[in-house]
Structures are given as C-alpha cells and as structure tokens.
C-alpha cells in the first residue's frame, strides 16, 4: 500500500530555532509537496519538487526552505521558527508523468512554536 | 487571483439521505478537479477526479459533477452513513505540474 511517512506527529519548538520536518514516500513518486493547513485558510502550498535536487516555490514560501537529496525524501526547513509558523504541516506526493495524478498525504506534523 | 469557495458551515444530515457539497471557483479554468476526504488528525485521502470534458463521475455511493460554465463542482454522497462524517475538500488543478489548490473544506456530519 502507498505510504507517505512524516517523521513527527507533534513538535514543539522555541522561537528562533531551526526546525526540520522530514517526509519519506515509498511509491517512487517524482513529485513531492509541502502544505500547511490552518483553520479557515485550508491547505496552502509552501514548496514542491518535481525531481531530486529540484524545488519550486508555492504560494507561501517565505520563511521556509526545502531539500530533496533523494527521490523518496523531501525535507521542509524553518530557518528561524516564528510563532506564526505554528500550524499543521502536510507532506504529499504523486506521480509526475500523469496529469491529474492523485496526491497521497502523510498524516501531518502539528508544529507549535512558543 | 484564483479563489475557491466551499460551504464553510458544517452540513448536518440524517442517515440514509443524500449529502450535497458545493465547490465554486473563480478567476481560472482548471483542467480537472479532485475531491478529498479528511478525518480529524489525518491527512486528506483522494476520492474522485473529474476532468473538464466530463460532466459527471461516479464511484459507488459517490457522484461528482463539474460545470465549467457555472465554475462549480457538486459532490454527492447517496445513502449517507455516520461513517461518512468527515471534512471534504475540493481541489481544482492549479496551473499545471499536478499542482492543486485546495478549498477550505466542508464538514459533513451524518446523524442516526
């Protein structure tokens, strides 16, 4: 069965800390995505990647960076965490060669920045 | 800019009835639209995809319509069950590259 695994379900960090959120997929998918989900705002795309070492900004990239050194792993980095980055973070992946390929999501990391 | 609207208020219906959820979008023309289900504390799960040249798509008790003139998709669950209670997200294609733009979702509660 298809699986996207996020390393932590809950994370509490202090303002100013560097934070790494890890995501691994076992489906050999080309595309990987990071979203954040906030009440009333829905899912918003932060960054995505079409291939190893490739990355593109989504709708809200400010304050974030990403890394994709291997096909199966996509990391989201908060260089200096701030309280407005408290949110649910969702990683997803899909096939790159088929238009409309469904997204497969992990179960999210709920990050609290204090 | 692209905008997606889903009923923000929860939809409460009785078991056995048909639930109908609405998704309206403005300022663009997606080539396809997907629907997802999300349970509390979990990531969204894909349900159905409908393309711009399709009027209707069915899967078991689920039906989706796509009206590109009205810029609207309707999601129906027939013979609803308490297990169908969840938040349903509409996600039109958002500009190529298999990117999706998500609505805020509609919470459905099916009562006995």
Average pLDDT over residues A30-53: 94
Average pLDDT over residues A34-63: 94
Mutate to test the interface with A, among B37, B53, B98, B100 (most CBs of A within 10 A): B98
Q: Would the CB atoms of A48 and B100 count as touching at under 8 Å?
A: no
B22-46: pLDDT as tens digits: 999 998 889 999 999 999 999 999 9
Domain ranges of chain B: 3-111
Q: Would the CB atoms of B97 and A50 count as touching at under 8 Å?
A: yes
B52-111: pLDDT as tens digits: 999 899 999 999 999 999 999 999 999 999 999 999 999 998 766 667 889 999 999 999
State the Cα–Cα distance between residues A83 and B13, nearest whole angstrom.
38
Residue with tokens 């997929």: A25
pLDDT recorded at residue B45: 97
Question: Taking 90 as the threshold, does the pLDDT of residue A62 lie above it?
Answer: yes
Mutate to test the interface with B, among A99, A106, A107, A109 (most CBs of B within 10 A): A99
pLDDT recorded at residue B3: 86
Residue with tokens 């996020």: A6
Q: Which residues contact B31 (CB under 8 A, 6 or more apart)?
A: A99, A100, B51, B52, B93
pLDDT recorded at residue A77: 98
Chain B residues touching residue A21 (CB < 8 angstroms): none
Distance, in angstroms, between A94 CA and closest chain B CA? 8
Q: Would the CB atoms of B32 and A92 count as touching at under 8 Å?
A: no
Task: Kindly give the pairing relationship between strand B106-111 and strand A4-6.
Answer: unpaired
pLDDT band at B8 (very low <50, low <70, confident <90, very high): confident
pLDDT recorded at residue A100: 86
CATH architecture of B3-111: Sandwich (2.60)
Q: Would the CB atoms of A108 and B41 count as touching at under 8 Å?
A: yes
Question: Taking 80 as the threshold, does the pLDDT of residue A1 lie above it?
Answer: no
For A42, the closest of B46, B97, B102 (CB atoms) is: B102
B89-104: pLDDT as tens digits: 999 987 666 678 899 9
Tell whether A102 is within 8 A of chain B (Cβ). yes
Query: Can you list the domains of chain A with their CATH numbers?
Result: 18-92 (2.60.40.10)
State the Cα–Cα distance between residues B80 and B26, nearest whole angstrom.
29
pLDDT recorded at residue B108: 97
């Amino acid at each position: 069965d298809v699986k996207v695994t996020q390393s932590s379900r809950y994370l509490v960090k202090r303002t100013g800390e560097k934070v790494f959120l890890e995501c691994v997929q076992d489906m050999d998918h080309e595309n990987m995505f990071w979203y954040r989900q906030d009440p009333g705002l829905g899912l918003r795309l932060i960054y995505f990647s079409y291939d190893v070492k490739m990355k593109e900004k989504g709708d809200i990239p400010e304050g974030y960076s990403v890394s994709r050194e291997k096909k199966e792993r996509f990391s989201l980095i908060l260089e200096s965490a701030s309280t407005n980055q408290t949110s649910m973070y969702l990683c997803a992946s899909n096939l790159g060669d088929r238009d409309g390929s469904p997204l497969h999501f992990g179960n999210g990391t709920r990050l609290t920045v204090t | 800019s692209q905008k997606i609207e889903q009923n923000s208020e929860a939809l409460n219906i009785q078991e056995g009835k048909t639930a109908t959820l609405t998704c309206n979008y403005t300022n663009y023309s997606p080539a396809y639209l997907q629907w997802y289900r999300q349970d509390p504390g979990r990531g969204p799960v894909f349900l159905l995809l409908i393309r711009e040249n399709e009027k209707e798509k069915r899967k078991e008790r689920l039906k989706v319509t796509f009206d590109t003139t009205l810029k609207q998709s309707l999601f129906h669950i027939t013979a609803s069950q308490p297990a169908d209670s969840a938040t349903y997200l509409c996600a039109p294609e958002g500009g190529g590259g298999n990117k999706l733009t998500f609505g805020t979702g509609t919470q459905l509660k099916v009562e006995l």
